């Protein structure tokens, strides 16, 4: 049995929209093991993205605790959260979110600017990450010169280049065609199976969720069900 | 934050960045020129000699004093030397070719103004010959006059009765060692003017425009000035005696409050360029909202994104403003020649460059601070959700 990497205890989050309080996460308890590929599913408004943002230190719960790798991140201030994110989390967004004025290599190098590395070391690490995602020949291309699938692979390279504890992917295939989506899912699967990365992927797509070892279903901010399975080929 | 990201974001829209930088360059160039004009106006006040007094009519600078005052002035205790100065106001060939000319006492002039250094020609010839003149090297260069050349000046204030121009011979060319005297003036013998008028060969105001007094060492200038004015209290022309600095300041004020006027224009230009740069930076910041979210998500601190936005503004202003300041400095000598007649002593000083540099950085700071603060305070999630 793998050790617990993520532990959520009575996590609650309420937003106010149009003067009305909307409880997005409702007293949620959840544990996630290290080295596992999780898919987080649920209907719109079920709290998937909110949960992902909480786990990535982008948002804070109103109450409850979020403990990741033994650290309760709910007590961190903004600066501490930023430092913690830089060291522990890699993000993959639906819309890729690459910096348009930078090349693929420069985009991947960005998180390394926060690490005590020389320019040469940064470059080598970024090139290695791009090699891992199969984009050695696209290092000097800007995002606008890449396909959607290639952009998302650059984003994955950026997410793994710092060797984070946790990779958080929010609908990573949402903007991709079928074959690009399959390539991205395969890549995420490889990162999990071969490099032992813990991945939490929010998705609406049951087909994409089949890549995960554990599928967590959320409904109205509460835990629906947890489905443990053998990941299938995409 | 790497410089490449700052520069690449800034020049994401090269035309917009270039136009803004060009506007800044023009504004800072203009500011340096305007400031240099004010400095040039003030240079006569700042560099005035402490041992010289100016005696003029208390009515107006345009009212002439009797020649007979010269001997009386020389007899006042504390006065070492007296020199007559009469504005001639002629031009060479065309009214456009105008420069300052004064009828004066050559010997007294050279004794009282040690800053006038003769660089070519003969001092003796200037003292001896009636039509001889001492010409500033700026004017000599401009019109190609050399020592020994004869040239005509058409008198505007003092016109010859035969309709012919006045004739002058370049006896010597001078260079001024201090900006209290410019390098463009022509000095000629007062006797030439006076005798010609007396002989009925020319018309014009009689008398002396101003007397310049040189004080004896240790003489009290306030006491001497009071003695002069007291002496002529009963007329025929009452006098007003001032130090050279006071006189120069009064002369500048006669053309209005130019420093205030020029400073107002400069201030207006700066406010306009600040608003234009702020607009550019707000647009640039809006376009980078999602990038700000990405950077923060990757772990960059609020301070880093603040620095990114502020640095872009500073870089834009330093590039544009720096170009404008450099242009003003490089064009300085040429402008000094062009403006020499109106603004002798025109120079882009270190003080002007420093002020312009500080203003450039201030514009960069104030144009960048609002978008930088907005980026700093923006939450990661709202930045990532931005559609900019």
- DSSP per residue over B244-307, as a string? HHHHHHHHHHHT--HHHHHHHHHHHHHHHHHHHHHHHHHHHHHHTHHHHHHHHHHT--HHHHHH
Which of helix, strand or coil describes residue B175? Answer: strand
Q: Which residues of A touch B305 (CB under 8 A)?
A: none
**DSSP single-letter state for residue B220:** -
> Is B289 in CB contact (< 8 Å) with chain A?
no
Domain annotation covers residue A212: yes
Both B200 and B320 in one domain: the answer is: no
Domain annotation covers residue A25: no
CA-based nearest distance A163→chain B, Å: 13
Q: Taking 90 as the threshold, does the pLDDT of residue B42 lie above it? A: no
Mean pLDDT of A42-53: 91
Interchain proximity B298–A110, CB inside 8 Å: yes
Both B192 and B304 in one domain: the answer is: no
d(CA B316, CA B294): 23
How is the beta sheet containing A63-68 ordered, strand by strand? Answer: A20-33, A4-17, A63-68, A71-72
Q: Taking 80 as the threshold, does the pLDDT of residue A90 lie above it? A: yes
pLDDT at B344: 67
Q: Taking 70 as the threshold, does the pLDDT of residue B264 lie above it? A: yes
Interchain proximity B297–A59, CB inside 8 Å: no
Both B377 and B265 in one domain: the answer is: yes
Which of helix, strand or coil describes residue B368? Answer: helix
Domain annotation covers residue A40: yes
Domain annotation covers residue B27: yes
Q: Which pLDDT band holds residue A202 (cuts at 50, 70, 90)?
A: very high
pLDDT at A76: 93
A interface residues, B as partner, C-beta within 8 Å: 53, 56, 58-59, 78-79, 82-87, 91, 93, 97-102, 106, 110-111, 113-114, 158
Domain annotation covers residue B242: no
d(CA B166, CA B158): 9
pLDDT at B41: 76
Domain annotation covers residue A18: no
Both B10 and B94 in one domain: the answer is: no
Average pLDDT of every residue of chain B:
86
Both B118 and B146 in one domain: the answer is: yes
pLDDT at B341: 60
Domain annotation covers residue B293: yes
Interchain proximity A91–B290, CB inside 8 Å: no
Percent of chain B with pLDDT over 70: 95
Return phi, psi of residue B46, to 5°: -70, -35
Domain annotation covers residue B244: no
Both B231 and B297 in one domain: the answer is: no
CA-based nearest distance A81→chain B, Å: 8
Both B302 and B185 in one domain: the answer is: no
Write out pLDDT tens, residues B48-96.
667 888 888 878 778 888 888 888 888 888 888 899 898 888 888 888 8
Range of the domain at B11: 3-44+257-385
Mean pLDDT of B173-200: 85
Among residues A138, A169, A168, the alpha carbon closest in space to that of A151 is found at: A138
Q: Could you count the other beta carbons within 10 Å of the beta carbon of residue B246?
A: 16
Interchain proximity A82–B296, CB inside 8 Å: yes
Residue of A nearest to B300 (CA): A82
pLDDT at A231: 66
Q: Which of B5, B8, B300 is nearest residue A114 as measured by Cβ atoms?
A: B300
Both B39 and B170 in one domain: the answer is: no
Range of the domain at A187: 36-57+87-228
Interchain proximity A85–B297, CB inside 8 Å: yes
> Is B8 in CB contact (< 8 Å) with chain A?
yes
**Cβ proximity of B136 and B186 under 8 Å:** yes
Q: Which of A59, A85, A97 is nearest residue B381 as measured by Cβ atoms?
A: A59
Domain annotation covers residue B251: no
Mean pLDDT of B121-128: 85
Domain annotation covers residue A169: yes
Q: What is the DSSP string of chain A?
A: -PPEEEEEEEEEEEEEETTEEEEEEEEEEEEEETT-EEEEE-STTSSHHHHHHHHTTSS--SEEEEEETTEEGGG--HHHHHHHHHHHEEEE-TT----TTS-HHHHHHGGGGGSS--HHHHHHHHHHHHHHTT-GGGTT--GGGS-HHHHHHHHHHHHHTT--SEEEEESTTTTS-HHHHHHHHHHHHHHHHHH--EEEEE-S-HHHHTT-SEEEEEETTEEEEEEE-PPPP-
Domain annotation covers residue A98: yes
pLDDT at B340: 62
Structurally, chain A folds into a number of domains equal to 1
Interchain proximity A79–B299, CB inside 8 Å: no
Q: Which of A79, A102, A111 is nearest residue B298 as measured by Cβ atoms?
A: A111
Write out pLDDT tens, residues B214-248.
888 887 888 888 888 888 888 788 888 888 777 77
Return phi, psi of residue B121, to 5°: 95, -165
Cβ-Cβ contacts under 8 Å between A and B: the total is 61
Q: Taking 90 as the threshold, does the pLDDT of residue A229 lie above it? A: no
> Is B20 in CB contact (< 8 Å) with chain A?
no
Q: Taking 70 as the threshold, does the pLDDT of residue B212 lie above it? A: yes
Q: Taking 90 as the threshold, does the pLDDT of residue A151 lie above it? A: yes
Mean pLDDT of A187-210: 90
Domain annotation covers residue B202: yes
CA-based nearest distance A229→chain B, Å: 31
Choose, out of B297, B300, B386, B387, the residue to mutate when testing the contact with A (most A CBs < 10 Å).
B297
Q: Which of A79, A91, A100 is nearest residue B297 as measured by Cβ atoms?
A: A91
Both B33 and B64 in one domain: the answer is: no
Q: Taking 60 as the threshold, does the pLDDT of residue B1 lie above it? A: no
Residue of A nearest to B291 (CA): A99
Domain annotation covers residue B359: yes
Q: Could you count the other beta carbons within 10 Å of the beta carbon of residue B7?
A: 17
What's A155's domain CATH number? 3.40.50.300
d(CA B340, CA B137): 11
CA-based nearest distance A102→chain B, Å: 7
Domain boundary among B170, B202, B237: B237
pLDDT at A85: 94
Interchain proximity A56–B297, CB inside 8 Å: yes
Interchain proximity B12–A101, CB inside 8 Å: yes
d(CA B211, CA B66): 10
pLDDT at B61: 76
| Token pair of B168 as six digits | 């002058």
Domain annotation covers residue B246: no
Both B71 and B195 in one domain: the answer is: yes
Write out pLDDT tens, residues A154-172.
999 999 999 898 999 999 9
Q: Taking 80 as the threshold, does the pLDDT of residue B383 lie above it? A: yes
Structurally, chain B folds into a number of domains equal to 2
Both B312 and B233 in one domain: the answer is: no
Q: Which pLDDT band holds residue A44 (cuts at 50, 70, 90)?
A: confident
Q: How many residues are present in chain A?
A: 234
Q: Taking 70 as the threshold, does the pLDDT of residue B255 lie above it? A: no
Domain boundary among B203, B237, B271: B237
Both B126 and B188 in one domain: the answer is: yes
Residue of A nearest to B381 (CA): A58
């Amino acid at each position: 049995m793998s050790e617990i990497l993520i532990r959520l205890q009575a996590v609650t989050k309420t937003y106010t929209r149009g003067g009305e309080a909307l409880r997005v996460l409702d007293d949620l308890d959840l544990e996630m093991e290290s080295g596992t590929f999780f898919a987080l599913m649920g209907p719109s408004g079920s709290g998937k993205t909110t949960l992902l943002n909480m786990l990535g230190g982008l948002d804070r719960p109103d109450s409850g605790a979020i403990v990741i790798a033994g650290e309760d991140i709910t007590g961190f201030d903004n600066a501490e959260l930023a430092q913690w994110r830089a060291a522990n989390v890699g993000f993959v967004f639906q819309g890729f979110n690459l910096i348009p004025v930078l090349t693929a290599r420069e985009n991947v190098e960005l998180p390394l600017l926060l690490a005590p590395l020389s320019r040469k070391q940064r470059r080598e690490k970024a090139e290695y990450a791009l090699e891992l995602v199969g984009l050695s020949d696209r290092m000097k291309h800007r995002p606008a010169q890449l396909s959607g699938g290639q952009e998302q692979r650059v984003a994955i390279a950026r997410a793994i280049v710092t060797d984070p504890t946790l990779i958080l992917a929010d609908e990573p295939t949402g903007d991709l065609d079928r074959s690009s989506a399959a390539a991205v899912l395969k890549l995420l699967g490889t990162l999990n199976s071969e490099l032992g990365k813990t991945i939490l992927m929010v998705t609406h797509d049951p087909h994409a969720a089949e890549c995960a070892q554990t599928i967590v279903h959320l409904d109205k901010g509460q835990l629906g069900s947890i489905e443990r399975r053998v990941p299938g080929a995409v | 934050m790497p410089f490449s990201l700052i520069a690449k974001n800034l020049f994401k829209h090269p035309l917009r960045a270039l136009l803004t930088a060009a506007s800044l360059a023009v504004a800072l160039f203009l500011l340096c020129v305007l400031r240099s004009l004010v400095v040039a106006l003030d240079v006569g006040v700042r560099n005035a000699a402490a041992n010289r007094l100016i005696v003029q009519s208390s009515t107006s600078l345009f009212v002439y004093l009797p020649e007979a005052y010269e001997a009386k002035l020389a007899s006042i205790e504390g006065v070492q030397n007296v020199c007559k100065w009469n504005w001639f106001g002629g031009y060479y060939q065309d009214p456009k070719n105008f420069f300052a000319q004064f009828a004066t006492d050559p010997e007294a002039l050279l004794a009282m103004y040690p800053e006038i250094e003769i660089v070519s020609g003969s001092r003796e010839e200037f003292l001896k010959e009636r039509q001889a003149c001492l010409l500033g090297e700026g004017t000599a260069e401009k019109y190609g006059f050399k020592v020994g050349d004869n040239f005509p000046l058409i008198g505007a204030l003092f016109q010859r009765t035969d309709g012919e121009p006045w004739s002058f011979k370049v006896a010597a060319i001078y260079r001024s060692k201090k900006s209290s005297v410019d390098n463009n003036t022509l000095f000629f013998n007062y006797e030439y003017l006076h005798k010609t008028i007396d002989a009925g060969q020319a018309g014009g105001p009689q008398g002396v425009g101003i007397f310049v007094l040189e004080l004896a060492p240790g003489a009290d200038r306030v006491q001497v000035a009071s003695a002069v004015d007291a002496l002529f209290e009963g007329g025929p022309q009452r006098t007003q005696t001032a130090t050279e600095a006071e006189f120069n300041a009064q002369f500048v004020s006669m053309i209005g409050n130019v420093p205030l006027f020029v400073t107002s224009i400069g201030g207006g230009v700066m406010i306009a360029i600040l608003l234009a740069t702020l607009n550019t930076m707000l647009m640039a910041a809006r376009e980078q909202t999602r990038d700000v979210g990405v950077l923060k998500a990757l772990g960059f601190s609020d301070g880093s994104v603040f620095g990114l936005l502020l640095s872009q503004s500073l870089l834009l202003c330093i590039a544009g403003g720096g170009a404008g300041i450099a242009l003003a400095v490089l064009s300085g000598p040429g402008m000094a020649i062009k403006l020499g007649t109106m603004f002798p002593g025109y120079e882009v000083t270190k003080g002007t460059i420093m002020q312009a540099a500080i203003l450039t950085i201030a514009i960069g700071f104030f144009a960048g601070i609002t978008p930088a603060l907005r980026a700093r305070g923006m939450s990661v999630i709202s930045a990532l959700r931005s559609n900019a």
